[in-house]
């Protein structure tokens, strides 16, 4: 268990439903939703903006160290379909980091150990100050190993690829399902086999297969468990 704040840590592969589930869960529990993947997208975005090869960790690191990355729940006009508001030095890049090019870049920069170390520190600082629902690929074992509730969301490959394909089509990206499927498999391989903090299921994580569950069903399941833990902890809301 954590100390002053309440922490829900959620890991899982791409398109398992982590983002939507975590956002709705945070709303229901009145916690801050932290999409750590967005932070890696920011690194890729910065690299692309500065025309830096994303394999050049030593050139990317100073950018990360000098940049203020702020995540917050959307308010007012920001409630436009986004899951989270992402600010880079006070500039709203919430949609700019959601392009497919940035998405591919995020997967590349995530293998750099110095980049990961820097972002993990930023993520831990957020969770030390506010009650959070934090999701990503290394939250349960690396970022928040003492989280009050650890969850691993997953789903079968076909279901995840269909979700990803639908998401891209709704954004106006013309792409074939097979291309999305192959990309998903490749991203899984990179996440699971990377040398630094590979995607994994920790023993004390609650594994939820979302293949045959709706988003509301998953959110309700986790909400009930989280509220029980909150009640026993009697924490004070620090959203």
The full DSSP string for 100-115 is HHHHHHHHHHTT-HHH
What are the distances in angstroms from CA 106 to CA 63, 100, 115, 154, 176?
15, 10, 11, 20, 21
pLDDT at 179: 96
Q: What is the Cα gyration radius of the chain? A: 17
Tokens of 224: 């009930």
Sequence spans of domains, the chain: 7-233
Q: In what order do the strands lie in the sheet with 85-88?
A: 69-72, 85-88, 91-92
Q: What is the pLDDT along the chain (239 residues), one digit of tens a residue?
A: 556 899 999 999 999 999 999 999 999 999 999 999 999 999 999 999 999 999 999 999 999 999 999 999 999 999 999 999 999 999 999 999 999 899 989 989 998 999 999 999 999 999 999 999 999 999 999 999 999 999 999 999 999 999 999 999 998 989 999 999 999 999 899 889 888 889 999 999 999 999 999 999 999 999 999 999 999 876 655 44
Phi, psi of 7 (to 5 degrees): -130, 125
> What CATH number labels 7-233?
3.40.50.300
* Predicted local confidence at residue 239, as pLDDT: 47
pTM score over 0.85: yes
Please answer whether residues 19 and 97 qualify as being in contact, where contact means their C-beta atoms are separated by less than 8 angstroms.
no
Asked if 148 and 7 touch (Cβ cutoff 8 Å), the reply is yes
Q: How far is it, in rounded angstroms, from Cα 73 to Cα 232?
A: 26
- Residue 17 and residue 155 in contact, taking contact as beta carbons nearer than 8 Å: yes
């Amino acid at each position: 268990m954590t100390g002053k704040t309440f922490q829900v840590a959620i890991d899982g592969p791409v398109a398992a439903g982590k983002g939507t589930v975590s956002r709705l869960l945070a709303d229901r529990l009145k916690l801050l939703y932290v999409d750590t993947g967005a932070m890696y997208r920011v690194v890729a975005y910065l690299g692309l903006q500065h025309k830096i090869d994303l394999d050049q960790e030593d050139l990317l690191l100073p950018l990360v160290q000098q940049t203020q990355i702020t995540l917050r729940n959307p308010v007012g006009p920001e409630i436009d379909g986004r899951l989270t508001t992402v600010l880079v030095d006070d500039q709203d890049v919430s949609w700019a980091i959601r392009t497919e090019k940035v998405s591919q870049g995020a997967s590349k920069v995530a293998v750099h150990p110095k980049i990961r170390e820097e972002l993990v520190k930023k993520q831990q600082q957020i969770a030390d100050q506010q009650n959070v629902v934090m999701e990503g690929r290394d939250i349960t074992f690396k970022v928040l190993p003492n989280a009050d509730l650890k969850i691993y969301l997953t789903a079968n490959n076909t279901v995840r690829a269909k979700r990803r394909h639908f998401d891209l089509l709704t954004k106006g990206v013309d792409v074939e399902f097979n291309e999305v499927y192959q990309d998903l498999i490749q991203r899984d391989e990179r996440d699971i086999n990377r040398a630094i903090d590979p995607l994994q299921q920790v023993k004390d994580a609650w594994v939820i297969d979302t293949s045959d569950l709706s988003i509301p069903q998953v959110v309700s399941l986790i909400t009930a468990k989280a509220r029980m833990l909150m009640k026993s902890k009697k924490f004070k809301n620090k959203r």
